[in-house]
Structure 1
């Protein structure tokens, strides 16, 4: 079987996000969980009408196991590629103006986003997205949920599956979410936002 999708190389070393996120977490979270989603997806789409689609196209239209593996593969790439060891810790420019417009302040946005991640029951994701009206919205969704399914454009996500944080924070999801902001590179999020305009 030809491998359509492959695990991309991270833009930083496995230990580069320490102490916020340990090399051991990345070894499991990226090296095992994400690799499994990609391998499962390749096996599931072989011989189906989806086998020549992009990952984003599969996320938008698939269901069941194909959707779960495709969305988890996409979500994890999106998550890990927004992090950096020397991150820009606050947004500027057009994104900062949009955050101030739609949330009142950057601090109010962070509070709303962290709350969405902390209060989601079970496993899933917290998101900052641009909705169909061009406004920013914070949402939460279970399992492999992705805002693209609702016509929104994701800008930022936090993985709140236990495998994202349990090795470093055990059951303390709010502590993980508080530390998460140390790694979010707002240069990446600004670029994602500007690409929607």
Structure 2
């Protein structure tokens, strides 16, 4: 069965003034949609068409099928990114996630600094991630479509897209300002906490 482009988890203008409806019209409506279309075309009529999206990403990576991997991983990464933000985002985490951030980064500020550095220093296109591995929180950065999904025992908790198309209409070349807006006003701590709880780590 063909995969479909998921709806945004909020209205296209819900993250304004930080991310505009115009950005979403391109980023979700064109970029994300194109990844889904190309992925479906690549798997049509093949056994891979019956795989879940996560399994498809992992199989494409294991098989070295770069074209399929790029489109499948970008399809998954973008859906995960939309959910990593919320109109009620920002603030501070609570509960177990807050405790682990303090333990593994020293403080919430320590996490923000590490995450902002990962996003700002990712050369060219890519992603910044908060993940859990062996029970410990880590910040990662990946190039192009690369995703922590392909690494055994690593569970993504949230992500930020630092490809230029994610922010250029709203922030032009000011990627650090985009990262700051994400960390201070948009980050969906509830989504990260849910992913941590489901990870079993």
Structure 1 counterpart of 2:180, from 178, 181, 190 = 178
Question: C-alpha distance in 2, partners of 1:121/1:30?
Answer: 23
Unaligned runs of 5+ in 2: none
After the TM superposition, which of the residue ranges 122-131 and 88-97 deviates more from structure 2? 88-97
Q: How many residues end up aligned between the 2 structures?
A: 194
Cα deviation for residue 88 of structure 1 reads: 5.2
| Cα separation, 2, equivalents of 1:78 and 1:61 | 19
Q: Residue 140 of structure 1 aligns with which residue? A: 141
Q: Judging changes above 3 Å, is the alpha-carbon distance between structure 1 residues 39 and 146 closer, same or farther for their aligned structure 2 residues?
A: same
- Mapping for residues 33-52 of structure 1, pairs under 5 Å: 33-52=31-50
Query: Per-residue CA shift, 1:60-79, capped at 9, x if unaligned?
Result: 12031110000000000000
Alpha carbons of structure 1 residues 121 and 88: separation in structure 2 relative to 1, 3 Å:
closer
CA shift digits 1:14-46 (9 cap, x unpaired): 111100000000000001100000011000111
Q: TM-score, normalised by structure 1?
A: 0.95
Aligned to 1:194: 197
Measure the CA separation in 2 of the matches of 1:88 and 1:158.
14
* Cα 1:175–1:88 shift into 2, 3 Å: closer
* SS of residue in 2 equivalent to 1:171: coil
Identify the match of residue 55 of structure 1 among 53, 56, 80.
53
Secondary structure of 1:153's match? strand
Provide TM-score, normalisation by structure 2.
0.93
User: Take 1:108 and 1:75, find their aligned partners in 2: how far apart are those partners?
Assistant: 25
Q: CA RMSD in A?
A: 1.1
2: distance between equivalents of 1:14 and 1:45?
30
CA contact (8 A) 1:89 1:185 kept: no
In the TM superposition, what are the counterparts of 1:73-88 in structure 2 within 5 Å? 73-87=75-89
